[in-house]
Structure 1
């Protein structure tokens, strides 16, 4: 495995100003969209989906935030348009598999069913163009291995909700001043030791589970912490979210796994990390930001 850092110039999105930029992928993983929540960046996601063609689309849980909607019904037109766009993609031939998470848990009752051309599954294994097997799951099943107790979990949820409120207010101020989107919540999480410990425990639990499934890698969501890294013989990917980070995992038409981040100023995404899979020896080459 060779590691190469992306320079600032390399990481910037390439924009074709003469026409609508189209993304084309073999497979795409999205999670933690949280439709029905005020913190959902539905407008950004809608722009991305309308530019994108993918053969397979995997929805890795927490697509609709039923928890938030139980507290207060919030469903603007942009959230409805995201769902409509997903159904249009399914009708036009994109294979869509949906693995419900904890915020959309009622949909777990429909595992094994096909609703509006969308297949619902508990887990799923995707085979890449190079023959690698990737396990897909949300990750909420590992909460007991990460959390130290229900009381602290509830406290953590409330603090996170407060962070998202502050994040929303800061975004309005930055937008008014002409600055791009920046996540205060992500910035704080990366600098709090307890949060980093929880992320490490979650990663270890997911990788340990995947090792027993005879796969080459695993893609999950749940913790809103995008990542693409090598963990022993497996690669670990977290596709992030569309609340704080606006990120996703994609398999390119060349069979390369990529972590993308949406850029609101250029209305396109750019690669922040990638792993090239060698067909013959299944070696990994990682490109990190």
Structure 2
């Protein structure tokens, strides 16, 4: 039985990279029946896209999202920095699927402001080549971490996250995350939003922020590289879905993902557009 949810928000899937947990994401999407699905940026990693690496499990994620839209789910694809090539097309609608740069939703009389969040990242805005180089390094770190975790699990020991350890031990990274959250929340309060929802920093979060001008709820959907998290809103309540706590069965690769339109060729054409 699929679980009905009013709103699901996920971000930073990075399809097309070795670190993407596509099978787990398909398993989660198959377990729910959302009225609205918001893809809050960096779903497809056009920055690091390679024709030689886009496995069927990654295509299966795209197929599942299209299937949800065909069955009535309203899908909003908000562009991020890794899929910024799509910004030249926004805003645009294809049936139940909309591509846009930001979104405002009315949730039970409260206003939710949703955007990816890369607008706050100066390293991306002014030195994009450094950000891209960092992305490749991050991809390598995830591959190395996967091998280390395979060894740890084989020895009966818990998994270990290198990237989390590095981010948590570097004061500048911790400061950036805090500044990011505070900036997003303060702007939301100034503009009279009740909720502000971001992605980008791969840091799942739900917390109330107060300033002399008022307060709002800051939310971050995390990512599907390290944390495997999503935000859910139903019956007026926000919750943070953590995949590892769901005990969902892992899906197998769907041999029917091949269609008349080659998604890999389509992505390649977008990258070079």
Instruction: Tell me the number of residue pairs that the alignment of Structure 1 and Structure 2 aligns.
Output: 245
Cα deviation code 1:62-98 (max 9, x no counterpart): 000011115x631111001110000000000001111
Aligned structure 1 segments of 4 or more residues deviating by more than 6 angstroms = 145-152
Quickly say closer, same or farther: Cα 1:205–1:92, change in 2 above 3 A: same
Gaps of 5+ in 2: 250-273
Give the Cα–Cα distance (whole angstroms) in 2 for the partners of residues 180 and 117 of structure 1. Answer: 41
Q: 1:122 corresponds to which residue?
A: 101
Once the two structures are superposed, the pairs formed by residues 217-236 of structure 1 within 5 Å of their partners are: 217-232=195-210, 233-236=215-218
Confirm or deny that 1:81 pairs with 2:60. Answer: yes
Partner of 1:192: 170
Q: Is the 8 A contact 1:34 1:40 kept in 2?
A: yes
- Tell whether 2:225 aligns with 1:247: no
- The secondary structure found in structure 2 opposite 1:66 is coil
Unaligned segments of structure 1, at least 5 residues: 1-19, 269-289
What is the aligned partner in structure 2 of residue 90 from structure 1?
A: 69
Q: Secondary structure at the match of 2:142?
A: helix
User: Which deviations, in whole Å up to 9, do the C-alpha atoms of 1:220-274 show, x marking residues without a partner?
Assistant: 000111111111101111100001110011102x210111110178228xxxxxx
Matches within 5 A, 1:134-213: 134-144=112-122, 157=135, 159-177=137-155, 182-213=160-191
Contact 2:124 2:131 in 1 (8 A): no
Structure with a larger share of its residues in helix: 2
Map 1:45-124 onto structure 2 (within 5 A): 45-70=25-50, 73-115=52-94, 117-124=96-103
Q: Does 1:260 align with 2:238?
A: no
Q: 1:116 to 1:174 in 2, by over 3 A?
A: farther
Contact (CA 8 Å) 2:19, 2:139: kept in 1 or not? Answer: no
Counterpart of 1:54 in 2: which secondary structure?
strand
Query: In the alignment, is residue 29 of structure 1 matched against residue 9 of structure 2?
Result: yes
